[in-house]
Copies of this chain bind each other. A is one copy, B any other.
């Protein structure tokens, strides 16, 4: 088989999902006739593959899961929404009159977020953006984007970059997933395999695919609150609260140390 090309998988997918959602412009059709659902394909390095309808990136607040609503109640001041995607939560914050900036590394995602009305966007990595003079009071990592902490090595580096973008007393609200409640043998074996390789059990090695595009392989971290506490120790952040009302999903609230 030919390897897929490396490209803006998320952007191409979200542009198609947005076209299907709005019915405007060229969009995927079966036989040039019937709407074709847009599916995000996620490969894991143990050969596991998973498809998920991309529509959830465009969901209105009425369709959100409860923890997303609770997360937005914790927001204050100037907000940086990291991995803003199609602007699902950022557009809602803007609608509520909050000052919100959406950051993403996907040009296609930023394009869709802007079409949906998000005014302030940044196409960049956190690391590169951390040299900017902008400062924020709240950082959002929603849609399971606590996973962007990647690993015990990379997580503190990302948190350091965010500390450079932070006003005094800034807060970081991250939605994560505790992977260890599962009894699915596929996942239990994967956690064990990871540990044998010196990785955290839920340190997923993934790539996304859409049509003929793939991302590079990347780490994405599903960790327990205890593992998160270990990762945060030694950074300029403190873990202030865990809201695990919707276990295994949780919200972690971090605050910048004084």
Contacts and interface: CB of A to CB of B under 8 A. Distances in A.
B212 A5 contact: no
Nearest to A36: B52
Interface residues of A, number: 39
A119 to B, nearest CB: 32
B211 A1 contact: no
A34 to B, nearest CB: 8
A46 B40 CA distance: 18
Contacts of A155: none
B212 A2 contact: no
Nearest to A193: B2
A52 B39 contact: yes
Contact of A39 (B50, B211, B249): B50
A210 interface: yes
A211 B186 contact: yes
Q: How many copies does the complex hold?
A: 2
A45 interface: yes
Nearest to A4: B47
A212 B186 CA distance: 8
23 contacts: A1-B46, A1-B47, A4-B49, A31-B177, A31-B247, A32-B181, A32-B182, A33-B246, A34-B65, A37-B52, A37-B53, A39-B39, A39-B50, A39-B51, A39-B52, A39-B53, A41-B41, A41-B51, A47-B214, A48-B211, A49-B210, A51-B51, A186-B211
Q: Which 5 A-B pairs have the closest CB atoms?
A: A39-B51, A51-B51, A4-B47, A2-B47, A49-B209
